[in-house]
Amino acid sequence: GERMVLFGGPCAAESYDICMETGSQVKALCEKLDISYVFKSSFDKANRTSSGSYRGPSVEGGLDILRRVKKDLQVPIVTDVHESYQCAEAAEVADVLQIPAFLCRQTDLLKAAARTGKAVKIKKGQFMAPEDMKYAVDKVRGEGNNNVFLTERGASFGYHTLVVDMRSLPIMRQYTPVIFDVTHSVQQPGGKGGSSGGQREFAPFLARAAAAAGVDGFFIETHPNPEKALSDGPNMIPLHQMEDFLRMLKRYWELHTLHH
């Protein structure tokens, strides 16, 4: 809780080069701005809207990329797990296992992640009241793993859009530290037909608001060229804008930290 945390990187581990280009720049920024950095990339995108969407590298390929990035960048790694059998394998590379929002109530997955001993980062389901996330936290703690935190990424609000209820931040921080997922909070689920759209233009407004309401860190997907990204392009922050973006967040985060 003493330092602002950033989970960031390209949505999918498309290639070692993209990961390294992104990760090295973000790492340098975080060192300059006194932010704790965790490199994020998915080795597998298991819940795309349609089969035709990019699925990510193969599991082995994706984890192998993450392993090399971790070694070469010397940063901790967070990645998603979608079924309980993946947890042990992912935990050989990752320092933090992320539970996707749709899966936040899957007891087996939560417990398998917890039992790896790695930190477990649970995204709040779009269908969940924030106070019910305490049961997800308890499922992890029940396995003897206290290194668990939650992530806000928006709630269902009619069809094809999400709304961030800022009340969720203080509610969930009663249980454990909370990360604000800038990228997926502006997602428009299924809004582009067979894939999800995004409203990247609102990302700075929501991110600042969350910083002022109070969070422990941020999750931001970024890419050297979001228009060419194979997944979630419409939501990602372009890499060259990250310095300004992080400086902005840091100002609000520090003001909050100073007074609360």
Nearest CA-CA partner of 37 in 49, 51, 25: 25
- In the bound state with a copy of itself, the residue whose beta carbon lies nearer, of 74 and 159, is 159
Q: What are phi and psi of 60, to 5 degrees?
A: -65, -45
- In the bound state with a copy of itself, the residue whose beta carbon lies nearer, of 71 and 167, is 167
CB of 141 to a copy of itself, least distance (A): 9
Q: What are phi and psi of 162, to 5 degrees?
A: -125, 160
Give me the amino acid identity at 247.
R
CB of 61 to a copy of itself, least distance (A): 16
Is residue 87 within 8 A of residue 116, CB to CB? The reply is yes
CB of 123 to a copy of itself, least distance (A): 12
Nearest CA-CA partner of 35 in 259, 249, 213: 249
- In the bound state with a copy of itself, the residue whose beta carbon lies nearer, of 41 and 195, is 195
- In the bound state with a copy of itself, the residue whose beta carbon lies nearer, of 64 and 165, is 165
Is residue 236 within 8 A of residue 11, CB to CB? The reply is yes
Footprint on this chain of a copy of itself (rule: CB under 8 A): 46-51, 55, 82-85, 102-103, 105-109, 125-129, 131-132, 135, 138-139, 142, 155-161, 163-167, 169-170, 189-190, 194, 199, 202, 205-206, 208-214, 248, 251-252, 255-256, 259
Give me the amino acid identity at 189.
P
CB of 47 to a copy of itself, least distance (A): 4
